[in-house]
């Protein structure tokens, strides 16, 4: 039922009255009081809508002036100069409208005055009219321009070639139109030509050779207007001048003339003397078949190369400047012999890093010392006036090189500090060099916190000599300052590969890994459940999803499950097994297809994956980006879930190692190294937070992958 009008004597929407649109009383108090005075109804207060009084808050359209009611909405498009209009579903009142008309009532109760157009509305209307006129004029000018200059076929083009001068000739053939110029020196020939086919496609020729660009101007594939054709012909016409300008004898003459003129400005009192000197040398180099650089320019090139080798090579490749080859610059800039043989001398020991230290900031000097053995092919070579390739203490050729590299905890600084070529190495000799390097770095000004190595027995034996009697430990007395600790831990990247390789190396048919249940949400039980994780289950999972378009374990590949001896050293293949997708696949697809011990295999992978996630944090915002609480920096806090997990993981390894069962376990070396590194990470975090006042620790800083990346190339 439509709402009835509440104005006195009005029959709007009553049984015997007209059907009209009605409007609610305004919510604004001032405007509502004006409406109440306008409708001349005593003792009347509009109320909210209710079933009992459905008519008390409406006023019909009969009481408003036509200009007060909006029946449609519009939008003015300034780009096209048109107004778009759409009819409203329900009419609405303009802002501030008042019921002024009271029909069927005395005249003194009604006011019907037409409102004048406001200055703002009038200004807006005139602006819209001006925009419409301007757009219409532009459209007209555009159509006129297109009519005069555009063409779509050869017939239209032929009628618009009146702009051509005597330099050009025109010939019409079947299916094409040719515009060409003839040169009579030294003999008559077509110098340049332009062929336009029926579809207005263009081909340009110079001396019968098709060209696609002229200097910086690219010849268009299709031309449809006279202006573009004029521009193309102008470039073709100037081609002869360009060829004259590039004549070798003329070029040399012009360059020598330019050098003579510029030499008049080569006065040291002139503020642009250096610039003029540089320009003169560049011009002189352009006149020579074989460049000969001046000593000053070679010094400038050397400084530029040392500032940025990549920037130097880029600048040289652009041909903006004639620069000497980088190999020439490198020969000039070698000021000291940094071969491994020379570095063994006491006078030149750690000479490179000592010279570099003065360019480092305070945030670069707190470092870890990474050690790795790089296997090399034994051979001798002659470099810099000496024979290199022999071991440090023998005359035989070295078969490996022990590389020592530092990595800053607070910045991205990292660099190799020493390389030790060796034929064979004992733990005692390696300990001597490690101690000597640590003391040398401390004397230079570095602060060595930790030593990082892979899980090689000689590394652990060498580090054990820091205590008397020798014994493996997470923390030793610092050789440069006995009041400070020196931490030792194994590389977590290397350990992850060892864990994967231990699983593959199990001798039973299914390659089972037998381990105690890990308490993710509780403490250890006195008699934990013994779990069985067969590696064969991963093979079955991969075969099950191999032909599926959508896979849970999409990272799991055949190469990761069957790595070769060399591929076992690839950590990315190990991560194809220890990831959250394989865990989810085992818990979902494994249960659905009843894969053997899929839940135990998922739990085993989950334990290793969480440990690796914590140990591989290299950026403070990694966890925020990945939405993974275990990928955030490590803190020494009893409520830190990562710190709690490492403590549980350390206890879990003890429980696993004490199992009486012989098979299905990690090797003794991997057990020891994994437990050692986990405990070391806990102690290092405690030391860094309490002693070094660090807010957090990035465990990824305690890895040797930086060293392997450097020498793996």
What is the Cα–Cα distance from 183 to 188, expressed in whole angstroms? 6
What is the Cα–Cα distance from 511 to 502, expressed in whole angstroms? 10
pLDDT for 519 equals 83
Kindly report which listed range (104-113, 191-200, 202-211) carries the lowest average pLDDT score: 104-113
pLDDT for 712 equals 58
Query: At residue 664, what are phi and psi to the nearest 5 degrees?
Result: 70, 30
What is the Cα–Cα distance from 482 to 438, expressed in whole angstroms? 13
What is the Cα–Cα distance from 90 to 374, expressed in whole angstroms? 83
Kindly report which listed range (383-387, 630-634, 673-677) carries the lowest average pLDDT score: 383-387
pLDDT tens per residue, range 257-283: 788 778 877 777 778 888 888 888 888
| Higher pLDDT among residues 403 and 663, named by residue | 403
Residues 544 and 607 in one domain: yes
pLDDT for 344 equals 63
Average per-residue pLDDT in the chain? 83
pLDDT bucket at 51, cuts 50 / 70 / 90:
very low
Kindly report which listed range (40-44, 57-61, 249-253, 319-323) carries the lowest average pLDDT score: 249-253
Kindly report which listed range (109-113, 606-610, 621-625) carries the lowest average pLDDT score: 109-113
Instruction: Tell me: pLDDT of 182 over 70.
Output: yes
Residue 105 lies in a domain: yes
Residue 690 lies in a domain: yes
Residue 277 lies in a domain: no
Give the end of a domain, one of 213, 245, 277: 245
pLDDT for 52 equals 47
What is the Cα–Cα distance from 651 to 648, expressed in whole angstroms? 5
pLDDT bucket at 54, cuts 50 / 70 / 90:
very low
According to the per-residue pLDDT averaged within each range, which of 129-133, 227-231, 466-470 is highest? 466-470
**For the chain, what percentages of helix, strand and coil (3-state, to nearest 5) are there?**
40, 20, 40
pLDDT for 227 equals 84
Number of C-beta neighbours around residue 364 at 10 A: 20
| Higher pLDDT among residues 331 and 487, named by residue | 487
Residue 509 lies in a domain: yes
Instruction: Tell me: pLDDT of 336 over 50.
Output: no
Residue 225's DSSP bridge partners are: 150
Show Cβ contacts of residue 626 under 8 Å, excluding neighbours closer than 6 positions. none
Kindly report which listed range (13-27, 184-198, 444-458, 501-515) carries the lowest average pLDDT score: 184-198
Instruction: Tell me: pLDDT of 203 over 80.
Output: yes
Instruction: Tell me: pLDDT of 416 over 80.
Output: yes
pLDDT bucket at 431, cuts 50 / 70 / 90:
very high
Give the end of a domain, one of 115, 141, 172: 115
Instruction: Tell me: pLDDT of 329 over 80.
Output: no
Instruction: Tell me: pLDDT of 245 over 50.
Output: no
pLDDT for 229 equals 86
Q: How large is the average pLDDT for residues 85-89?
A: 85
Instruction: Tell me: pLDDT of 487 over 90.
Output: yes
- Whether a cis peptide bond, with omega within 30° of 0, leads into 469 is yes
Residues 478 and 538 in one domain: no
Domain extent, residue 223, equals 154-245
pLDDT for 250 equals 59
Residues 547 and 621 in one domain: yes
pLDDT for 551 equals 85
pLDDT for 205 equals 83
Residues 429 and 479 in one domain: yes
Could you tell me the two tokens for 500?
């994967």
Give the end of a domain, one of 470, 490, 510: 490
| Higher pLDDT among residues 679 and 295, named by residue | 679
Residues 426 and 476 in one domain: yes
Specify whether the CB–CB gap between 375 and 410 falls below 8 A: no
What is the Cα–Cα distance from 277 to 42, expressed in whole angstroms? 99
According to the per-residue pLDDT averaged within each range, which of 17-21, 300-304, 498-502, 636-640 is highest? 498-502
Kindly report which listed range (175-189, 221-235, 490-504) carries the lowest average pLDDT score: 175-189
pLDDT for 50 equals 45
pLDDT for 686 equals 92
Residues 499 and 544 in one domain: yes
Instruction: Tell me: pLDDT of 338 over 80.
Output: no
What is the Cα–Cα distance from 570 to 388, expressed in whole angstroms? 31
Residues 435 and 520 in one domain: no
| Higher pLDDT among residues 316 and 215, named by residue | 316
Residue 223 lies in a domain: yes
Residues 373 and 449 in one domain: yes
pLDDT for 107 equals 59
pLDDT for 120 equals 74
Residue 253 lies in a domain: no
Number of domains the chain contains: 4
Q: How large is the average pLDDT for residues 425-449?
A: 93
Specify whether the CB–CB gap between 273 and 312 falls below 8 A: no
pLDDT for 186 equals 66
Q: How large is the average pLDDT for residues 600-612?
A: 94
Residues 527 and 557 in one domain: yes
pLDDT for 497 equals 93
Residues 467 and 506 in one domain: no
**pTM of model > 0.75:** no
pLDDT for 442 equals 94
Residues 540 and 682 in one domain: yes
Residue 536 lies in a domain: yes
Residue 333 lies in a domain: no
Instruction: Tell me: pLDDT of 452 over 50.
Output: yes
What is the Cα–Cα distance from 77 to 70, expressed in whole angstroms? 20
Residues 504 and 481 in one domain: no
Separation of first and last alpha carbons in the chain: 85
């Amino acid at each position: 039922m439509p709402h009835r009008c509440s104005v006195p004597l009005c029959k709007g929407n009553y049984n015997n009255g007209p059907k009209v649109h009605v409007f609610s009383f305004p919510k604004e108090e001032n405007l509502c009081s004006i409406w109440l005075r306008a409708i001349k109804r005593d003792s009347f207060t509009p109320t909210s809508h209710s079933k009992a009084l459905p008519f008390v808050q409406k006023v019909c359209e009969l009481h408003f002036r036509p200009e007060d009611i909006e029946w449609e909405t519009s939008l003015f498009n300034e780009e096209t100069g048109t107004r778009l209009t759409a009819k409203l579903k329900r009419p609405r009142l303009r802002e501030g409208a008042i019921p002024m008309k009271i029909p069927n009532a005395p005249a003194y109760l009604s006011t019907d005055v037409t409102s004048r157009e406001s200055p703002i509305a009038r200004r807006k209307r005139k602006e819209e009219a001006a925009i419409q006129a301007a757009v219409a004029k532009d459209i007209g000018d555009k159509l006129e321009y297109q009519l005069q200059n555009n063409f779509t076929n050869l017939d239209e083009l032929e009628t618009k070639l009146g702009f051509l001068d005597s330099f050009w000739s025109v010939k019409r053939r079947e299916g094409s139109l040719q515009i060409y110029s003839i040169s009579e020196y030294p003999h008559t020939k077509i110098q340049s030509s332009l062929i336009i086919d029926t579809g207005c496609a263009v081909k340009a020729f110079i001396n019968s050779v098709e060209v696609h660009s002229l200097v910086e101007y690219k010849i268009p594939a299709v031309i449809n207007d006279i202006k573009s054709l004029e521009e193309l012909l102008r470039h073709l016409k100037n081609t002869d001048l360009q060829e004259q300008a590039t004549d070798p004898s003329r070029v040399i003459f012009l360059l020598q003339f330019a050098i003579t003129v510029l030499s008049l400005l080569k006065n040291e009192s002139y503020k642009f003397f250096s610039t003029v000197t540089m320009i003169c040398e560049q011009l002189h180099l352009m006149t020579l078949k074989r460049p000969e650089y001046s000593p000053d320019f070679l010094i400038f090139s050397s400084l530029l190369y040392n500032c940025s080798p990549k920037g130097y090579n880029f600048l040289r490749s652009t041909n903006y400047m004639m620069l000497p080859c980088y190999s020439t610059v490198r020969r000039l800039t070698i000021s000291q012999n940094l071969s491994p043989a020379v570095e063994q001398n006491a006078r030149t020991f750690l000479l490179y890093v000592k010279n570099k230290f003065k360019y480092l900031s305070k945030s670069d000097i707190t470092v870890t010392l990474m050690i790795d053995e790089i296997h090399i092919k034994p051979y001798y070579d002659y470099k810099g006036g000496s024979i290199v390739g022999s071991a440090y203490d023998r005359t035989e050729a070295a078969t490996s090189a022990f590389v020592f590299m530092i990595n800053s905890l607070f910045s991205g600084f990292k660099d190799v500090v020493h390389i030790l070529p060796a034929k064979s190495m004992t733990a005692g000799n390696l300990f001597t060099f490690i101690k000597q390097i640590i003391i040398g770095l401390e004397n230079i000004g570095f602060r060595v916190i930790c030593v990082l190595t892979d899980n090689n027995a000689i590394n652990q034996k060498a580090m054990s000599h820091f205590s008397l009697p020798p014994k493996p430990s997470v923390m030793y007395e610092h050789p440069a300052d006995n009041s400070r600790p020196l931490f030792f831990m194994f590389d977590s990247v290397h350990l992850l590969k060892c864990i994967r390789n231990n699983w593959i190396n199990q001798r039973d048919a299914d390659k089972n890994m037998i381990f105690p249940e890990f308490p993710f949400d509780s403490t250890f039980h006195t008699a934990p459940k013994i779990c069985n994780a067969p590696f064969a289950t991963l093979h079955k999972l991969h075969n099950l999803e191999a032909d599926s378009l959508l896979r849970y374990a999409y990272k799991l590949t055949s190469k990761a499950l069957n790595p070769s001896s060399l591929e076992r050293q690839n950590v990315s293949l190990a991560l194809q097994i220890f990831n959250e997708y394989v865990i989810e696949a085992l818990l979902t697809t494994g249960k659905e297809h009843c894969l053997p011990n899929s839940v135990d295999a998922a739990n085993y992978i989950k334990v290793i994956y969480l440990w690796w996630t914590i140990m591989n944090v290299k950026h403070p915002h990694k966890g925020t980006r990945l939405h993974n609480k275990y990928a955030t920096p490590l803190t020494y806090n009893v409520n830190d879930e990562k710190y709690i997990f490492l403590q549980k993981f350390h206890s879990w390894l003890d429980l696993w190692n004490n199992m009486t069962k012989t098979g299905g376990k990690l090797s003794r070396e991997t057990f020891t190294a994994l437990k050692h590194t986990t405990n070391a990470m806990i102690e290092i975090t405690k030391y860094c937070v309490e002693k070094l006042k660090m807010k957090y620790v990035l465990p990824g800083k305690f890895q040797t992958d930086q060293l392997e990346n450097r020498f793996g190339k």
